[in-house]
Structure 1
């Protein structure tokens, strides 16, 4: 099965393909933001990766989560551009921008549940659906995913294993 992530040599997309990709990136990023702001953040449940670092940063400072999400991912977008390609970097930049805006717009919603177990399960499930849609649309929502895709090409480890290593390190 072919990977949904582009290679360095990409073909030009038609307008219909580009519209579909942007639509799916938008939907995935909004779903992710809903899982984040509706379940995890209001219940003080942390995520891994750059998103987790952003949650910590927003809690420690009075800066909004949206700003942390956007600015902490910028260096990884440049890395993705160099290592994976232009289409991936532009798709990722767009998805992260939409996620940050959606996170800001959803800032004042309360928790959709106050039961920690439900918040963790539903939050994780919704985040996973959002990330899956974005990855299938040749993008990413977290800098550690970009590193994992790049490292998986030169190591025997899968993208999932590399992301898990980063998350264990960050959460630890």
Structure 2
């Protein structure tokens, strides 16, 4: 039990730090978006310089209230991840100005690397049954109510957020954001992939 708790703490911290690096170092400099509530927080940051971590928490509160009443287990697995992720996102908020400027990374390369960082960060947490909450729960609630596929619902919600960002900012923001969430999704899938155990052939089994 103590080992499992320790693993969850380490995974939450490591995953949150990777998310924070991906957002601050590779997404923000080029107004790139992620899906979900983080994407909404990034839009508000690009428009009005809103604090991303605090905005992430505020935008997540209605969803967490829903989780408390409808999916209690989801609340307890999401709340710590949301708080710690928000903390690291704000803690690393200045590194993009000090570290990225000398590198002169191309926007496509930056979006690609940012997607990897965020995907791996999410993957590490999901592999340990930790979440940052957000629109995944909202998608599950909508899917349950409308009897539709939850994956399709998440895709629609993320698509709406990315499209809104493209309309508010530029086509470049739209396409770079699509690249980021695609690479991020693939990276998350790789991290969460668990190889099925190989069947053992016993000496007496024919």
Gaps of at least 5 residues in structure 1 are 1-13
The count of residues paired between Structure 1 and Structure 2 equals 157
Question: Within 1, Cα distance between the matches of 2:63 and 2:124?
Answer: 19
Name the residue aligned to 2:50: 63
Question: Structure 1 residue aligned with 2:95, among 89, 109, 129?
Answer: 109
**For residues 76-116 of structure 1, what are the alpha-carbon distances to aligned partners after superposition, in whole Å with 9 as ceiling and x for unaligned?**
12222333223x31231111111111111111112365311
CA contact (8 A) 2:37 2:60 kept: yes
Q: Which is richer in helix? A: 2
Shift of 1:117: 0.7
Higher relative contact order (CA 8 A, sep 6+): 1
| 8 A Cα contact 1:113 1:119, kept in partner | no
Partners of 2:148 and 2:49 in 1: CA distance: 41
Runs of 5+ unmatched residues, structure 2? 164-206
TM-score (norm 1): 0.80
Residue 150 of structure 1 deviates from its aligned partner by 4.0
Taking the aligned partners of 2:87 and 2:47, their CA distance within structure 1 comes to 21
In structure 2, relative to structure 1, the CA distance for the partners of 1:119 and 1:113 (3 Å cut) is: farther
Contact 1:39 1:113 in 2 (8 A): no
Q: Is the 8 A contact 1:29 1:141 kept in 2?
A: no
How far is the alpha carbon of 1:153 from its aligned partner? 5.2
After TM superposition, the score normalised by the length of structure 2 is: 0.68
* Partner residue, 2:118: 127
Tell me if structure 1 keeps the 8 A contact 2:8–2:130. Answer: no
Cα shift readout 1:29-63 (whole Å, capped 9, x = no counterpart): 21111111111112211112211110111222243
Aligned-CA RMSD value: 2.0
SS of the equivalent of 1:66 reads helix
SS of match in other structure, 1:51: helix
